[in-house]
């Protein structure tokens, strides 16, 4: 098992690896622990086994220095909160009584305490748990996890590099704790936090760590001078410690910009930079600061966020240039491989022609190793790999799969008129109210209802051939009847059919649109034990047949109340897929929007009075650099309006967004021109409602009052309190009551109890108003 510790001329490494295992063993183990089917020791044993497998996979692929500490039972930012002792006061007693249960309480909440807020990790679909800090926060080092996992790797014979969230990024990701002045800046705690990092680094050095990686991805965002000064201070202090390992400061997702000269001047031993996509500008930036003479540069030249094979010759050219800018150049993926599936080799249902164009985590590790070998020993050593790569790239470029001239002609002919509703909101709202005849403060849900074991079993039986389509359809119809009946009995005003036929809000549509490829095993972590299978967008997109009309129409036949048609919007269809990289993304967005437009028009023709087009990814896809945002928001809002603008004025268009910081895109939200928007708000205590009010948002708003990512059943009083907070920002005639998000992942009984409380809370607010 032991591997040579002698450093080659160029080393292959990665920053992180998928955590879940080939068959999502981690998800099953954690949920088994939550359900009481397994104990803590069994969970820890499963986790240790998954770490061993990951390190073995990487070593077998040729990765000479494996990461450790990147593994997490829920979230690596939450792990950092534990490492620095920043446990919120409401969780402290539970954490001290049982650290594992306390850890999960911070992530999920309990019946007694609310969880930490969750939001998107930069512009990815991964969610992290937001640290809560204040002027009274006391930090204390708890290095057990990073030290323990490093010692595991060391015992197994691997050359391992611990990976930690850097101190500046950790503080920038934090928010003021409840009760703290909203203007409090967590970065002011830096001097208090650095001794804790110094302690952890000293413990890792004492355990034998030669290098430690400190991730500072927040520095690829536009940061003010005060933050750059904090960066300089942090790494001057950490870099001059007497007892420390060598420090590798890593960034990814974009170029470092003004932070690059600050880090290059810091007394650290190396930098790990992204050189893919917009981050390719790091090369010129590195040249401008004179390079890293005598120090280590880890060059992220293999895209860690997409699934297409690397252009090996182009990457080698970049690496050759970088050789003149550092004392040592190692090769890596651009970021952690957490963001891609594990292994394309197990996807037997993907056409071989397309599979040859793809690289998941295992394949990307092999690409990194190939490039390191070519850089160290010359391209003759990897001539066979280069020839195969060249042929695959050429085949993709000329394949009929990637181009449909009919689709391209339609997209090119789109006019501005097609992206505008026939009447402005102020005029059409009266027609909608007359048609729908809803009470003030109408109640609804976001779309999905719990996916029961029976539904999953029916879907598996259909795939395995144990039941036929007719039997499966009857199971779906029965579920819809039950969901509609419950909503009617509970008193919800605008109903949903519950989406029992859908496996995932993106995958379901991808399987019915041309140009998309679905995976069977391509799981990627979204948060905690929630994994998704992002489809792969390989070619031009069109809609061969209606996708949602049948079941929406069936649901409407079961009730006199309006049933929402439910679609996933074009931006989210791209953001939660692996998008083709061979044409401008705006062109791909327009194709997807036209396909969805056809569905919206068909839903309206079938009688749908309310149609919801979800765009939870609009904010998360916002470019990290401000200069790139106007162009993104222009094509993103145009694509949404192209999807929805074909309906008549009396048809009400909804959208939904969840778990993000919305303040920066309020103008874009207005530009969507929807009639009703529902947003996550429960964990953030209605912050978004106040932001919309301050921005003068004129349309109807449903700020979520039921946090569906926690197993808690919110009481009626809690929901009334949140609705009152919403009313402080949004007038009653424009306010809706709804959960934060879809209910797919929750249990049926907790959903039923929570929705009954929600309807009762809305009734009480209406009574107060009269």
| The CA-based dihedral angle spanning residues 279, 283, 284, 288, taken in that order and rounded to the nearest 10 degrees | 120
Positive or negative: CA dihedral 577, 583, 589, 593 = negative
- Residue 240 CA neighbour count, 13 Å, CB half: 7
108-125 exposure pattern, b = at least 16 Cβ within 10 A, e = fewer: bbbeebbbbbbbbbbbbb
| Contact residues for 242 (Cβ-Cβ < 8 A; gap 6+) | none
Q: Which residues pair with residue 333 across a beta bridge?
A: 302
- First vs last Cα of the chain: how many Å apart? 74
The two three-digit tokens of residue 145, written as one number? 């996890």
Look up tokens 């967590």; give the residue: 186
Altogether, the residues listed in the chain come to a count of 770
Which runs of E-coded beta strand occur in 191-320? 211-215, 246-250, 270-274, 292-302
Give CA–CA dist 189/137, Å, rounded: 8
Is residue 228 helix, strand or coil? helix
DSSP symbol at 289: T
Q: Are 646 and 418 in contact (CB under 8 A)?
A: yes
β-strands 127-129, 118-120 pairing: antiparallel
690's tokens: 């106040």
Q: Nearest Cα to 319, choosing from 335, 304, 332, 305?
A: 332
Cα–Cα–Cα angle for 166, 338, 118, rounded to 5 degrees: 65
Angle, CA 493 vertex, CA 490 and CA 499 arms, to 5°: 80
Paired with 232 in beta bridges are: none
Residue 94 tokens read as: 């539970």
- 709 a catalytic residue: yes
C-alpha R_g of the chain: 26
| Measured distance CA(468)–CA(466) in Å, rounded | 7
CA angle 217, 221, 224 (to 5 degrees): 115
H or E element at residue 428:
helix 425-436
| Nearest to 17, CA basis, from 301, 327, 340 | 340
Pairing of the two strands 132-133 and 175-176: parallel
Encode 299-359 in three state secondary structure.
EEEECCCCCECCCHHHHHHHHHHHHHHEEEEEEEECCCHHHCCCCHHHCCCCCHHHHCCEC
Q: How many other C-beta atoms lie within 10 A of the C-beta of residue 604?
A: 18
Nearest Cα to Cα of residue 22 among 393, 260, 300, 346? 346
| Alpha-carbon distances of 666 from 175, 337, 621, 694, rounded to whole Å | 20, 32, 14, 10
Query: Which of 560, 655, 548 lies closest to 605, judged by CA?
Result: 548
- Helices 144-155 and 40-61: crossing angle, nearest 10°? 50
> How many Cα atoms within 13 Å fall on the side-chain side of residue 79?
19
* Plot region of 437 (φ>0 → left; ψ -120 to 50 → alpha; else → beta): left
- Residue 693: other Cβ atoms inside 10 A: 16
DSSP run (H or E) holding 91: helix 89-97
Which position among 127, 656, 690, 709 bears the catalytic label? 709
- Rounded to whole angstroms, how far apart are CA atoms 318 and 663? 37
Active site positions, annotated:
709
């Amino acid at each position: 098992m032991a591997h040579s510790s002698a450093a080659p001329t160029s080393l292959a490494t990665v920053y992180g690896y998928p955590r879940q295992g080939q068959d999502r063993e981690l998800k099953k183990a954690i949920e088994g622990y939550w359900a009481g089917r397994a104990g803590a020791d069994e969970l820890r044993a499963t986790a240790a086994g998954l770490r061993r497998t990951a390190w073995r996979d990487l070593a077998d692929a040729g990765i000479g220095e494996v990461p450790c500490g990147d593994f997490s039972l829920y979230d690596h930012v939450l792990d950092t909160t534990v490492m620095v002792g920043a446990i919120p006061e409401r969780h402290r007693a539970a954490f001290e009584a049982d650290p594992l249960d306390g850890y999960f309480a911070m992530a999920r909440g309990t019946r007694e305490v609310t969880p930490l807020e969750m939001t998107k990790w930069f512009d990815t679909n991964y969610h992290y748990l937001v640290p809560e800090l204040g002027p009274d926060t006391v930090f204390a080092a708890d290095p057990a996890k990073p030290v323990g996992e490093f010692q595991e790797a060391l015992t197994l014979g691997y050359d391992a590099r611990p990976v930690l969230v850097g101190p500046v990024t950790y503080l920038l990701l934090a928010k003021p704790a409840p009760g703290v002045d909203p203007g409090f800046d967590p970065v002011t705690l830096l001097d208090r936090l650095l001794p804790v990092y110094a302690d952890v680094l000293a413990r890792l050095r004492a355990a034998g760590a030669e290098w430690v990686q400190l991730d500072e991805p927040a520095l690829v965002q536009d940061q003010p001078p005060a933050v750059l000064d904090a960066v300089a201070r942090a790494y001057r202090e950490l870099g001059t410690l007497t007892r420390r390992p060598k420090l590798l400061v890593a960034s990814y997702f974009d170029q470092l910009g003004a932070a690059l000269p600050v880090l290059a001047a810091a007394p650290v031993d190396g930098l790990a930079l992204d050189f893919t996509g917009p981050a390719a500008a790091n090369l010129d930036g590195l040249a401008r600061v004179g390079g890293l003479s005598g120090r280590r540069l880890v060059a992220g030249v293999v895209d860690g966020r997409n699934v297409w094979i690397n252009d090996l010759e182009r990457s080698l050219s970049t690496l050759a240039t970088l050789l003149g800018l550092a004392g040592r150049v190692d090769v890596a993926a651009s970021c952690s491989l957490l963001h891609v599936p594990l292994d394309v080799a197990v996807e037997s249902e993907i056409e071989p022609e397309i599979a040859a164009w793809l690289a998941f985590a295992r394949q990307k590790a092999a690409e990194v190793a190939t490039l390191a070998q070519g850089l160290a020993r010359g391209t003759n050593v990897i001539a066979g790999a280069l020839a195969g790569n060249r042929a695959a790239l050429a085949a993709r470029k000329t394949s009929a799969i990637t181009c449909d001239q009919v689709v391209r002609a339609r997209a090119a002919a789109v006019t501005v008129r097609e992206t505008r509703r026939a009447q402005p909101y102020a005029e059409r709202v009266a027609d909608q109210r007359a048609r729908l005849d809803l009470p003030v403060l109408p109640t609804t849900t976001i779309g999905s209802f719990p996916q029961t074991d029976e539904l999953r079993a029916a879907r598996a039986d259909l795939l395995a051939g144990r039941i036929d389509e007719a039997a499966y359809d009857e199971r779906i119809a029965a579920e819809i009847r039950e969901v509609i009946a419950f909503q009617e009995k509970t008193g919800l005003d605008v109903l949903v059919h519950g989406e029992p036929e859908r496996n995932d809000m993106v995958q379901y549509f991808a399987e019915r649109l041309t140009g998309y490829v679905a995976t069977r095993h391509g799981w990627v972590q979204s948060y905690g034990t929630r994994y998704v299978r992002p489809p792969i967008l390989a070619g031009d997109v069109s809609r061969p047949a209606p996708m949602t009309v049948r079941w929406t129409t069936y649901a409407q036949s079961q009730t006199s109340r309006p049933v929402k048609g439910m679609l996933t919007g074009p931006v989210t269809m791209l953001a939660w897929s692996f998008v083709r990289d061979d044409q401008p993304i705006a062109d791909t967005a327009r194709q997807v929007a036209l396909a969805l437009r056809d569905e919206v028009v068909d839903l309206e023709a079938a009688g749908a009075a309310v149609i919801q087009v979800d765009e939870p990814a609009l904010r998360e896809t916002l470019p990290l650099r401000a200069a790139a945002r106007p162009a993104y928001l222009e094509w993103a809002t145009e694509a949404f309006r192209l999807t929805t603008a074909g309906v008549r004025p009396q048809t009400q268009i909804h959208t939904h967004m969840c778990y993000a910081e919305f303040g920066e895109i309020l103008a874009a939200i207005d530009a969507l021109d929807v009639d009703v928007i529902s947003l996550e708000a429960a964990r953030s205590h209605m912050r978004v409602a106040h932001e919309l009010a301050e921005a003068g948002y004129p349309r109807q708003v449903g700020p979520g009052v039921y946090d569906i990512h926690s197993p808690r059943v919110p009481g009626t009083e809690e929901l009334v309190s949140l609705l009152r907070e919403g009313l402080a920002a949004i007038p009653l005639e424009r306010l809706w009551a709804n959960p934060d998000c879809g209910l797919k992942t929750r249990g049926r009984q907790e959903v039923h109890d929570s929705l009954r409380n929600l309807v009762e809370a809305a009734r009480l607010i209406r009574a107060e108003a009269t």
